[in-house]
Structure 1
Amino acid sequence: MIILPSDQTGTDRTTFGIACGLGAGALWGLVFLAPELVCDFTPLQLAIGRYLAYGIISSWLIAPRWRALVGTLTRRDWLALGWLSLAGNTLYYILLSTAVQNAGIATTSLVIGFLPVAVTIIGSRDRDAVPLTRLVPSLLLCAAGAVCIGWQALGRPAPGDAARELIGFACAIGALVSWTAYAVWNTRALNRLDRMSVHDWNLLTGVVTGAQAVALLPVSAAVDPIRHAAGAWMQFGAVSIAVAVVASILGNALWNRMSRLLPLTMVGQMILFETLFALLYGFLWERRLPVRLEVAAFVLVVASVLTCIAAHRRHTPPPQPAVGEQFA
């Protein structure tokens, strides 16, 4: 727990929040590679593997505090955990994996790159939020960067794969909608549940998400019976555990911490870090350098984040308490 002096609270909250957003983006960007590493498995199997591991690890970590935490949760809190686990984890990852496998990393990154626009527009309606007019330059830069990211993939679909590209693109849009809802409601839930640490909230989300993964096991067995070799399953298990630890445990923890430190209008911009790192990992995976449009996308996305930060610094926040704040 970090206690900040009262005269540095605002600046340190923003700086620390941005650092958490950067870290979350770096870890989440690795998720885009997972479907490529185990491309013989279906998106549903990928989601079940990742979130079973997430649920098991979360249950083990939260076990010593389980009784105390459960006693503080209301029916509304459990419903929120169920909805957020579905929108931000299970459904989102199935749609994302389907999009990557059918339309590729570039196209999926393009669509997901519009997440900041959607979240920021919704966040601008909150009380004491930065007016949307001040965020227009940042949003335009973000949109321009997203278009540059996927321009080549959308402009030159592979011959004979038009239907597959369309399915992937539709799933990417579904993932965009699903995760926008998660980003907004998770931030508001964390602000409402100030009595709970972000780490415990993340682990509780993992427990609920793991339960959803268990419920999907019969569906997966019926749709796609087990037909992989033992070696393939070992690789699948390793990737699932790695993604669960890196993205779901560590990445989500950083994101939840950031969600309490930054306003929703800035939270949206932090999603751009995931897009940047997903592209970077994609270049490394494909062993190539970025082309001009992709370099332009990097510049535009960075400019979008910096412009958003500048807009928030010029915005006069409501009066803060004189005492130091805690980063719970």
Structure 2
Amino acid sequence: MPGERGSTMLGVLCGAAAGALWGLVFLAPELARAFGPLELTIGRYLAYGLISAALITPRWRTVSASIGGAEWRALFWLGLAGNTLYYVLLASAVQLGGAAITALVIGFLPVVVTIVGSRAEGAVPLARLAPSLLLCGAGTACIGWQALFLPSARPVAAQLAGLLCALGALASWGAFAVGNNHMLARVRTVSSHDWSLLIGIATGAQSLLLIPLALLLGTRGHGAGEWALFVAVSAGVAIFASIVGNALWNKMSRLLPLTLAGQMITFETLFALLYAFAWEHRGPTVAEALAFVLVVASVVSCVAAHRRPGMAKEIKASTGLRP
């Protein structure tokens, strides 16, 4: 039906926009390289928490009335899995192994989330999603070809450590994507934007707990210019990636089933590479250009699988949307 197609396309657009903003986080560790992963995490999420608290204050009484102890525990866990722990691991992976190999590993998120989502009641069968998953896997392999097989100036030990951190980030954010999807279906009295702000408050509280750890580990001195750049990067990533990006992702999560929502994560990898090309002042190689084609074809294939006759009721059932 036209309304259902419109909801699907709106969901895809929201997912693409979220990916465009999330791709910025791959540049942040390079922009503020004078600071370690823990410091970058504290800066980003302290800003996210403060901005979230300011934005939700006018509606606090109404929103808090819908949130109980179980929801707050879920918010704390989601903030840890999707933000605090994830970003520590991601920033470590970028600084140790490089942005390209990190993007490669994170690029497998669509496969992980889609496979998990296919087990939900009423979800599109995994066999129907096989072409999309194969295209996604092929595109991801192309993206990481150069990072894996060409000589690198980075030590082998650092690349291995970066790869392990990227795998940890993959597992952490995969758990967040699934858990957040379930919670959005459960707390429908809270808007997707306000839910993102609540996660921001929980994450901001976690960043405060990390400050003593950062002081204990010790940090080298920084100049005024480095601190100014750190504050600008932290605030920019908090506003665009965390506030706006998360709100768009939550909006998409209420419009699309998890099997389709998982494919939207692919846009983060694509935009991360576009930003990396701009940062490195170069265009894509043949392998990277092929990756773009394959990944876009993966998303289109997944959308087509969800729009086949008879799938409307299954999509409604898996997202919790009213018919």
TM-score (norm 2): 0.95
Alignment correspondent of 2:17: 23
Any conservation in 1 of the 2:19–2:269 contact (CA below 8 Å)? yes
Does structure 1 conserve the Cα–Cα contact (< 8 Å) formed by 2:257 and 2:315? no
- Aligned CA distance change for structure 1 residues 96 and 312 (closer, same or farther; 3 Å): same
Aligned residues: 318
Report how far residue 318 of structure 1 moved: 1.8
The answer to which of 185-194 and 220-229 deviates more is: 220-229
Name the counterpart of 1:316.
311
1:36 aligns with 2:39: no
Residues 160/85 of structure 1: CA separation in 2 closer, same or farther (3 Å cut):
closer
- Secondary structure of the 1:14 match is helix
CA contact (8 A) 2:277 2:283 kept: yes
**Map of 2:219 onto structure 1:** 225
CA RMSD of aligned residues (A): 1.7
- Aligned with 1:225: secondary structure? coil
1:132 to 126, 132, 137: 126
**Aligned match of 1:3:** none
**Is the CA contact 1:157–1:165 (under 8 Å) kept in the aligned structure 2?**
no
CA distance in 1, matches of 2:152, 2:248: 38
Aligned to 1:204: 198
- Does 2:82 match 1:85? no
Per-residue CA shift, 1:102-160, capped at 9, x if unaligned? Answer: 11111001000000000000000111111000101110110111111111111134256
In the alignment, does 2:212 pair up with 1:241?
Answer: no
Residue 14 of structure 1: aligned partner: 8
Aligned to 2:173: 179
Tell me the equivalent position of 2:277. Answer: 283
User: What displacement does 1:69 show?
Assistant: 1.7
2:256–2:315 Cα contact (<8 Å) kept: no
- Closer, same or farther: CA 207–287 of 1 in aligned 2, 3 Å: same
Residue aligning to 1:71 = 65
Residue 235 of structure 2 aligns with an amino acid whose one-letter code is I
Instruction: Give 1:221 shift.
Output: 1.0
Structure 2 equivalent of residue 303 of structure 1: 297
**Which residue is 1:4 aligned to?**
none
Q: Which amino acid aligns with 2:129?
A: L
Deviation (angstroms), 1:309: 0.7
Q: Distance in 2 between matches of 1:69 and 1:260?
A: 18
Q: Structure 2 matches for 1:250-289, cutoff 5 A?
A: 250-289=244-283
| 1:160-175 equivalent positions in 2, closer than 5 A | 161-175=155-169
- Secondary structure of the equivalent of 2:197? helix
> Per-residue displacement from partner, 1:196-220 (whole Å, max 9, x unpaired)?
1011101111111000000000101
Aligned equivalent of 1:144: 138
Alpha-carbon distance in structure 1 between the residues aligned to 2:218 and 2:261: 38
Give 1:254 shift.
0.2
TM superposition score normalised by structure 1: 0.94
Q: Contact 2:306–2:315 at 8 Å: present in 1 too?
A: no
Query: 1:261 aligns to what SS in structure 2?
Result: coil
| 1:68 shift after superposition | 2.3
- Report the Cα offset of residue 226 of structure 1: 4.9
Tell me the CA shift for residue 316 of structure 1.
2.0
Contact 1:36–1:101, Cα closer than 8 Å, also in 2 = yes
2:4–2:312: 8 Å Cα contact kept in structure 1? Answer: no
Are the counterparts in 1 of residues 97 and 154 from structure 2 also a CA contact under 8 Å? no
Identity of aligned residues (%): 58
Judge conservation of contact 1:124–1:130 (CA < 8 Å) in 2. Answer: yes
Looking at structure 2, the residues matched to 159 and 191 of structure 1 have their Cα atoms a distance apart, in angstroms, of 47
